[in-house]
Structure 1
């Protein structure tokens, strides 16, 4: 049997491309996912945390960022107006499948005042609207999306793809890990971040051009929620940018979680730190990441390897994630269990090892992070407290960005790549939108082909 389209990956890019193709009446479509079905995934498995129905986003706190400025690079491929319409349509689909109706960050006097205060503190507030699904609600939305595809798209989980098949320079289908070959006229690869290595290897084998993306390295900050309450009340997740005084490097806040929790995540047997927030269950703390983008020049071309090395160093010293009081870091001493116990900020990640991040983070990154904390303290007094907790390390690996057309097509005819795994997005909404963009192009071509055959 030959399929019209084979989709690789059941993360947001794959799911939304499948949904779009089904709505356009394209059939038969096969959606292949290397991981397990959502009902079979568990938090106890590092593989399940990244792979399976819903992708890595299944266990995120589900932030949909309605902005052309953050979350990906789709604005490099289509116009801003078109992208805004696409993001709006993508957001509507999420809401129709159970995402909350409430939007944070709408323009208001409070937001404008916050932006002015940020400028005074040598910070730039990036305006954006955010829809917060919540960690516990992500599975509900993903289940609803799966139900929408039932009977319209064939779904195979626990089915790793080994390689892409081409003939005479044109895509022919895929070969599974067990050697089975499945053929199709179109292939849409949406491997996600967990599949970034696979995607890079396929690109090399097929001669697809790509370029390395920067790696973001930093810490997760945790402090009493009251410190940032004025900010998080105005904007659920504030994106703040600072250019450090010493190095003039770009430093930014990322993934702010009011009343949330710090969590550990594993990627390729490396433990790193992240943060979540629930719509119902609340903690007394707010957490967010401070990240520094590291862009390397020749001859070095392995930013992912560099970030993995820093994370492994933290794992070596702390047997996992390290936590340190800011006051201890500034005093040149490691945090101990006793010092953490006396901290006014109660850690939400109980299994983090008290330690010393100055043994892990390079000097340049550490200086950038401290200068960012000082700037944030001007905006929200209490950030630069000795009781502020720093967890390390937080690393964001971004896939090599594959050269694609505005329709997400590679130089191999009928081979499309979308989402974080292809390097075109960095978040749920733009990953989903890239799937819609590619699926629309495929659907239009199939319709034209059918018209020609009928004629």
Structure 2
């Protein structure tokens, strides 16, 4: 299989146009091309007034492959993931705490290698979890153990299902993750799109199918099994305590606990694990009409069927040297309640695969440095988050999130009524001044940043743009220290993993970190 890069074609093209392009570029007959396969695809909308282009890397088969001599063509570099070699199995099955992408992929690799892992999840299965979430969204009844943060698939299950990542990978781990998603029901285009996404509706199916594969391979997943303590002897983890009573022993315990397991962080701290503060970001969700964003990004081609809803990624550095940036952009999606503790407001964004709702939204965040915590305690970032989530709740004394037009936010006044854009947040919003539930440096940075971002997307700072807050869970506020073998630096047999431990950011990088943890556990028994 050969590969050709930088194949640039207008969005009106078809497969025959791709073959024609390749044939002309390398001077062969089009009929000699036996097959083509998209390896990568991105969109070039820089000249949207004239035309929008797709940029491809194409793998193709051709007759007399060895006779093609040109620098435009290389051998396809697709590297498949090589499963680690198992020589000896541990006497006790590995325990994985958490069933988010990090936990699931640790479990999947261990199960594929015959190690029969046990995954302990404090929340419920995705179907039962959906019922609890809908009860919260519709009736304001929060289940602190089964919600948007906790349960099968982790926090990413109720999101846009974005799979973009900036991590480097020469071992085929990313490819393994994407292929497993496709095998479990995700669309095949995630294998090649530059900005792949699954959508929460499909992701619900995917995580269930991965769970079924793990159990079929000999693994076990136990829901509503919350790890409340560790069994540690002489700085060596021996097992876990579940729901304050049941003991389960293992010589390999993976901490894939997610970024919102605050009570678990406290338990780990009390067990003397080395934990350090980590910077993160907080801010609000900003909403615009999807059509406005689509037109801004795609011009007259905004409703072309090959394009779908447009996304964006914006950033700005303020005069006070704060980073302001968009995060977890949800085209054609909605803003959702994501609280995991009572009397606190947490917002997030969610899109289904079709991305066809009326609004598009994004988190717009400001970086928070550890010095902003005003404390050297390892868990101070958690208390920082809690404080502002509580302040947001106090404004309405309910789970209705404070919401405001941007122009009113700019001028520190409550909004009286919304314009053509209606807030999508469920379970509903309260007209309040967001300046009262954000640190001053965050409010001022958001105001400065949003105004500047209007230069990139005309209408971004429009008077009708809606802000809803607060967004505090963009990443973990801690890092659990680990060594080169991914083991806790001061407690043997413990493997901090994924986003909650501070080593990933998003679905794909968390899943890859889970694979890395599984590999290190297997190495231990060689």
Task: State the secondary structure of the residue aligned to 1:48.
Answer: coil
Question: Are residue 22 (structure 1) and residue 84 (structure 2) matched?
Answer: no
- In the other structure, the counterpart of 2:161 is 62
Alignment of 1:228-267 (within 5 A): 228-229=293-294, 230-231=296-297, 237-245=311-319, 247-267=320-340
Counterpart Cα distance in 1 of 2:308 and 2:357: 19
Asked if the contact 1:104–1:130 (Cα under 8 Å) also holds between the matched residues in 2, the reply is no
Q: Could you say if the C-alpha distance between residues 94 and 196 of structure 1 is closer, same or farther in structure 2, counting changes exceeding 3 Å? A: farther
Distance 1:293 1:197 in 2: 24
Question: How far 1:101 sits from its partner (Å)?
Answer: 2.2
Between the aligned partners of 1:142 and 1:332, the Cα distance in structure 2 is: 43
Q: 1: distance between equivalents of 2:510 and 2:109?
A: 14
Whether the 8 Å contact between 1:224 and 1:285 is mirrored in structure 2 is: yes
Stretches of structure 1 that go unaligned for 5 or more consecutive residues are: 69-79, 107-128, 449-455
Shift of 1:425: 1.6
Gaps of 5+ in 2: 1-89, 137-141, 299-306
Q: Are 2:500 and 1:401 equivalent residues in the alignment?
A: no
**Which is helix-richer, 1 or 2?**
1
Confirm or deny: 8 A CA contact 1:169 1:413 kept in the other structure: yes
Residues 228-282 of structure 1 deviation map (CA, whole Å, 9 limit, x = unaligned): 214385995433221012x111111011111111112213121222111112362
Residue matched to 1:31: 119
- 2:501 aligned residue: 422
The SS at the match of 1:220 is: strand
Pairing of 1:321-336 with structure 2 (within 5 A): 321-336=401-416
CA deviation digits over 1:296-337, x for unaligned, max 9? 32852412212221221121112331111122233442112x
Does 1:344 pair with 2:431? no
Q: Which moved more, 1:14-23 or 1:218-227?
A: 218-227
Q: How does 1:5-16 map to 2 (within 5 A)?
A: 5-16=94-105
Show the counterpart of 1:289. 363
- Indicate the residue corresponding to 1:40 in structure 2: 128
SS at match of 1:64: coil
Q: Per the alignment, do residues 436 and 237 of structure 1 end up closer, same or farther by CA in structure 2, a change over 3 Å counting?
A: farther
Residue in structure 2 matched with residue 451 of structure 1 by the alignment: none
Task: Specify the alignment match of 1:137 in structure 2.
Answer: 202
Q: What is the RMSD of the two structures over their aligned residues, measured on CA atoms?
A: 2.4
CA distance 1:390–1:363, shift in 2 (3 Å): same
2:327 and 2:191 map into 1 onto residues whose CA distance is: 16
- Which residue number in structure 2 is paired with residue 75 of structure 1? none
3-state secondary structure, aligned to 1:20: helix
Paired residues of 2:385 and 2:472 also in contact (CA < 8 A): yes
Query: 1:154, 1:364 → 2: CA distance?
Result: 47
TM-score normalised per structure 1: 0.83
Report 1 or 2 for greater relative contact order, CA contacts < 8 Å, sequence distance ≥ 6.
1
Give 3-state SS (helix, strand or coil) of 2:339's partner: strand
Is the 8 Å Cα contact of residues 165 and 506 (structure 2) preserved in structure 1? no
1:311 corresponds to: 389
Once the 2 structures are TM-superposed, how far is the Cα of residue 184 of structure 1 from its aligned partner? Answer: 1.5
Mapped partners of 1:2, 1:268: distance in 2: 38
Residue pair 1:328, 1:334 contacting (<8 A) in 2 also: yes
> Residues 345-364 of structure 1 correspond to what in structure 2 (within 5 A)?
345-349=421-425, 351-364=428-441
- Residues 132/310 of structure 1: CA separation in 2 closer, same or farther (3 Å cut): same
Residues of 1 paired with 2:164 and 2:514: CA distance? Answer: 16
Aligned to 1:369: 446
Q: Is this contact kept in 1: 2:335–2:350, CA < 8 A? A: yes
CA shift for structure 1 position 204: 4.0
Distance 1:178 1:163, change over 3 A: closer
Contact persistence 1:196–1:421 (CA under 8 A):
no
CA distance in 1, matches of 2:192, 2:112: 31
* Partner secondary structure for residue 263 of structure 2: helix
Secondary structure in 2 matching 1:131:
coil
Is the contact made by 1:9 and 1:190 (CA closer than 8 Å) also made in structure 2?
yes
Name which of structure 1's ranges 189-198 and 220-229 shifts more when overlaid on structure 2: 189-198
1:90 equivalent in alignment to 2:177: yes
Which sits farther off after the overlay, 48-57 or 224-233? Answer: 224-233
* 1:177 lines up with 2:243 in the alignment: yes
User: In structure 2, do the counterparts of structure 1 residues 282 and 24 end up closer, same or farther at CA, with 3 Å as the change threshold?
Assistant: same
Higher-Rg member (1/2): 2
**Change beyond 3 A, Cα 1:236–1:148:** farther
Deviation (angstroms), 1:5: 1.0
* SS of aligned partner of 1:239: coil
Cα pair distance change 1:197/1:215, threshold 3 Å:
farther
Match of 1:102 among 185, 189, 201: 189
Q: Secondary structure at the match of 2:461?
A: coil
TM normalised by structure 2 equals 0.72
